Amino acid sequence: MKFSIKPSRNTALALAFLAALLPGHVTLAQTDSAALSDPAPAMDIEAEAVESDEKIRSRIENIFAELQPLRGVTVYVGEGVVILRGEVANEVAAQQAERLASRLAGVVTVTDEMSRTLAVADNVRPVIERMRTQTLNFIKALPLLGLALLVLTGFILLGNFLTRRKVLWLKIAPNPFLADLLAQATRVVILLLGIILALDLLGAAAVITTILGGAGVIGLAIGFAVRDTVENYISSIMLSLRQPFRAKDHVIINDIEGIVVRLTSRATILMTLDGNHMRIPNAAVFKGIILNYSTNPERRFEFELGVDAEDDPVAGMKAGLNAMCTLDFILQDPEPDALINTVGDSNIVLTFYAWIDQRETNFAKARSLAIRVTMRALEEQGFTLPEPIYRLRFDPEVNSALFGALEGKRSDVTTRASRAVKDEPQATPVERGDAVLDVSPDKHIEQKVDAEIQSDQGNDLLDKHVPHE
């Protein structure tokens, strides 16, 4: 048996009656269905919060009436949608109208249907009005601007006046370089104060903040760019304060030897012993190794001489010291000294030491003459200055043939050697003349250094009145 249910009018009425009896269930089912179909429903605008279209239109028209470029704009409002029609001079005026209309409460959206006339008169007139207003404002501000310029001029004159007071800065700073540096820094500070005060009088406080911020950024960038230059400049200041050397000092700076001419704000000028100019950056001088020969006028030299292994080294040392003591330029306090340095295969190496006064004696000449006198004294007393010895070894067959040939030529060689000795003029001993023993300091280099110092006296940071390090 089959059953079929056909919907009829009576069935529909029955369902409607049941729905009326269960209103809560039906409402819940509808809510769930709506939630499934739209999980995040949009929030509707409440009717109480929306202004009436007439009020919105009236408000926008009143605003546009107060603005000359927007007086030709007409407004239509329907259900919160604002439509702007009419004519405006340019795109700037159209964007202003749209922006003002969108700010009112109750406006859903703004539609731009305005036409841009781009008329010459409408676009030129606002520019002329702005120029006229700015000109009038500038004329009104002329007294205040003049006062600001007067204040700035006064600060500039004050800075220049203080900078020219050389005596004052020399009393404050230990040397002319630092004095000039402090004077210039003071002038810059006074100038900045004048600029800040002048801008403050003009009501440009925001400009002051911008200038100071920009100056900081620019100063940081410049600092990284000129880092080496700044390091060299600071080294010049430190060297002028420490004074590790004086003018005319004999120094070695980083393996560069010479006489100090001057210290400038950028480099240390040396004159090499060859008479050439040498410029060393002050940063390298400040961080480098400095050997100053002129700080202590007494200087010691040393040299080595070898005697035969069979000779008495102590007697050789005594003979050499006695010979050096005969030289007038050798100081007796401290006394010369000698010691055994090394013992070789065929000789004994002796080391001799002696002191001189560099203010009266040339170091290189004194050492050279001391070597000559010591060597002659050892030879005169029978000490042998050994020469290199080489041992040659031959096979027996080669020995017989070689020595047989040499024996036949020996007589001939001896004859020719004796003839050569007779013909050669006899060498005379070197006399101890004043020209040979002149060990005075080199005046030529000293004169060249003096000329260089006199040529530019104002550009030297070395000051003899500053304590020497």
pLDDT digits (tens, 9 = 90+) for 152-182: 899 999 988 888 888 888 777 766 777 777 8
**Domain boundaries 298-380, corresponding CATH code:** 3.30.70.100
Mean per-residue pLDDT of the chain: 77
pLDDT (0 to 100) of residue 429: 38
Q: Say whether pLDDT at 353 is over 70.
A: yes
The mean pLDDT value for 433-450 works out to: 73
Residue 420 pLDDT level (bands cut at 50, 70, 90): very low
pLDDT (0 to 100) of residue 142: 85
Residue 336 pLDDT level (bands cut at 50, 70, 90): very high
pLDDT (0 to 100) of residue 410: 53
**Could you tell me which residue, 31 or 314, shows the higher pLDDT?**
314
pLDDT (0 to 100) of residue 242: 80
Q: Which CATH number fits domain 48-121: 1.10.10.10, 1.10.260.40, 3.40.50.300, 3.30.1340.30?
A: 3.30.1340.30
> 127 CB contacts (<8 Å, ≥6 apart)?
none
The mean pLDDT value for 297-308 works out to: 92
Span of 70-79, 339-348, 458-467 with lowest mean pLDDT: 458-467
pLDDT (0 to 100) of residue 258: 92
**Could you tell me which residue, 39 or 311, shows the higher pLDDT?**
311
Give the whole-angstrom CA distance, residue 349 versus residue 311: 11
Residue 31 pLDDT level (bands cut at 50, 70, 90): very low
pLDDT (0 to 100) of residue 322: 93
pLDDT (0 to 100) of residue 407: 59
Locate 222 and state its tokens: 């410049």
pLDDT (0 to 100) of residue 24: 41
How many angstroms separate the Cα of 403 from the Cα of each of 125, 407, 410? 126, 6, 10
How many angstroms separate the Cα of 146 from the Cα of each of 131, 132, 199, 345? 22, 21, 12, 97
Span of 49-53, 90-94, 364-368, 406-410 with lowest mean pLDDT: 406-410
Instruction: Report, at the CATH architecture level, how domain 246-294+448-459 is classified.
Output: Roll (2.30)
pLDDT (0 to 100) of residue 373: 93
Residue 437 pLDDT level (bands cut at 50, 70, 90): low
pLDDT (0 to 100) of residue 28: 33
Calculate what percentage of the chain has a pLDDT beyond 70. Answer: 73
Residue 388 pLDDT level (bands cut at 50, 70, 90): low
Span of 1-15, 100-114, 265-279 with lowest mean pLDDT: 1-15
